[in-house]
Chain A
């Protein structure tokens, strides 16, 4: 054996792998620091927005003809007499404990309200997510593998419309066509009044609860009502996901290892799904996590169109009544969710990206 063969052998000893863990720990700490600062900034921003309010928060609670003493008492109760920075600290403390104050409209703690309405949105968003990824990823792969053919053009057009059409308009059109016109789907609303008190809600997700209770009639009703809003919501996510998938796949398909796989005589299916696709899987996770943000946005509008009793409708109702505690609480929750999703996908990427292994 020649000296060259010795030089050709690889080196992987223990000190290299411990160095990897050390730098991973440092990365983690840096991420934690960044995220903390971002959350702080988030809270500062919402605090600032809260203070922007031209309305007097005291009068909003007490009404215009409150007496001076009631007013003063409320000011103390709300902590508005303290200096601004003290108010901010109190606000920080409360928010991090998920105490967003009392809602003007319901009289209950905002947190309680949010917990009550969230499952509806969660259910809608999850079904939409499944539809969106289930359709978006294969379409994106298909478009990339058949680049510049009619298949590609069709997928791109579908995607473009999903990007450009207002989601609430699609919802309205959907109702006109599929509900009023064809009668294929249920009426707006999550569940028929008749069933609403009949259903034992164990998870808060009606699709699951109705199956758990063995009530297929309720399941059919709930399903018929969720299918249209979820599809509309999914369309936007699907447009984004398929576009990104196509872009990532095109990048992979121009790489040398794809030519090598073809030169080996691998079948088209194997090249596209066995070779190229696994290489974008990690990137796709980030894309899917980000599309949840689209879904949250879309949920606000979709729930308004479909009278869906979820988080989005709670937010818009609170908005129209200037219920700032509720509005800011919801905004913060969305912010927290988004930051968490970003963080998770970042971590996932770092752990699974083969190039950093």
Chain B
């Protein structure tokens, strides 16, 4: 009788993830994720992007509790103050603390981005994967539709929809989603095309799987990594479009602290009070930058190409 060595739970988890061969599908998947994660954090730029995003999400969530100022509260006696100890980013033309408004604005921006991702991603994936797998008239119609949407730069298309629907956050989200799904669909279709002829799809079909099941359980998971990468990369553009709409007065309406709208309202005073323009724009750039870095890193991890 040998005494089995008592290993700490953490040690055995590491060992389990590092084992040279996997003994179960779950372990194999977990190992693949672990290896991908290692590669991602090895890429310093992508890691930086991820950290910044995590910080931003955290700030967006708890930030409003951190500041003593109210987001809407006007105090005309302290209007247009430059950055100082009491107001780290200064005050705007109505005396509101800019840092507070930035923090609240983070919620709006991140929420809009998340909504667009959640709407455009699955729609694009579904349409593209189905079109790629089924082919035939569905493919032709779907791809013509995609072509039509892609004939417009995303901002212009979003502008047209917002013009019809009216300004506001919800309409802006819908409008942006309508311009964001086509590239995803095209990508998903390309991936689906490569898988369509493979043997395991044929095997599943011979077992009697319905097309719906095949698409859902076999084709879409293949398309998923590239779609995730593409959505992440497009996030930056989506945020810029949302901010652009806000700047033009078509997104969130004042007094909402959306960053684009803040830039628009700060415009009149900005030549003498530069801090009104600096903070919201820098915030937009920071979020966009992080998504770009993260997306680049994800792409290197999930679609490894030789350098």
Contacts and interface: CB of A to CB of B under 8 A. Distances in A.
Interface on chain B toward A: helix, strand, loop, or mixed SS? Answer: helix
A169 B204 CA distance: 53
Nearest to B161: A49
A172 B289 contact: no
A172 B281 contact: yes
Contact of B277 (A46, A54, A161, A176): A176
Interface string B132-160: 00000000000011011101111111011
A335 B150 CA distance: 9
A334 B152 contact: yes
Contacts of A328: 160
Given A324-B163, A324-B164, A164 B144 contact: no
Given A166-B263, A300-B159, 9 more contacts: A34-B144, A37-B144, A38-B151, A54-B165, A163-B288, A169-B281, A176-B271, A297-B156, A319-B248
B292 A163 contact: yes
Contacts of B260: 166, 168
Contacts, number: 145
Q: How large is the interface on B (under 10, 10 to 19, 20 to 34, 35 or more residues)?
A: 35 or more
A344 interface: no
A317 B248 CA distance: 10
Given A164-B236, A166-B285, A294-B153, A331 B160 contact: yes
A166 B241 CA distance: 9
A133 B145 CA distance: 31
Nearest to A301: B244
A41 B293 CA distance: 36
A72 B145 CA distance: 36
B249 interface: yes
A243 B74 CA distance: 45
Contact of A300 (B148, B155, B163, B306): B155
A232 interface: no
Contacts of B159: 300, 315-316, 319, 327, 331
B288 A164 contact: yes
B152 A331 contact: yes
Contact of B162 (A38, A54, A296, A319): A319
Interface string A284-328: 000000000110110011001100000000011011101010011
B67 to A, nearest CB: 23
A339 B240 CA distance: 24
Contacts of A297: 153-156
A164 B292 contact: yes
30 contacts: A41-B147, A41-B148, A44-B148, A45-B149, A50-B164, A160-B293, A161-B285, A164-B288, A164-B289, A166-B244, A166-B263, A166-B284, A168-B243, A168-B260, A172-B263, A173-B278, A173-B281, A175-B270, A176-B270, A254-B306, A297-B154, A300-B156, A304-B247, A319-B248, A322-B163, A330-B156, A331-B156, A331-B160, A335-B152, A338-B153
Interface residues of A, number: 54
Contacts of A175: 270-271
A180 interface: yes
Instruction: Name the residue among B163, B164, B165 with the largest chain A CB count within 10 angstroms.
Output: B163
Contact of A319 (B152, B163, B263, B278): B163
A160 B263 contact: no
A182 interface: no
A84 interface: no
Nearest to A148: B307
Interface string B156-191: 110111111110000000000000000000000000
B267 interface: yes
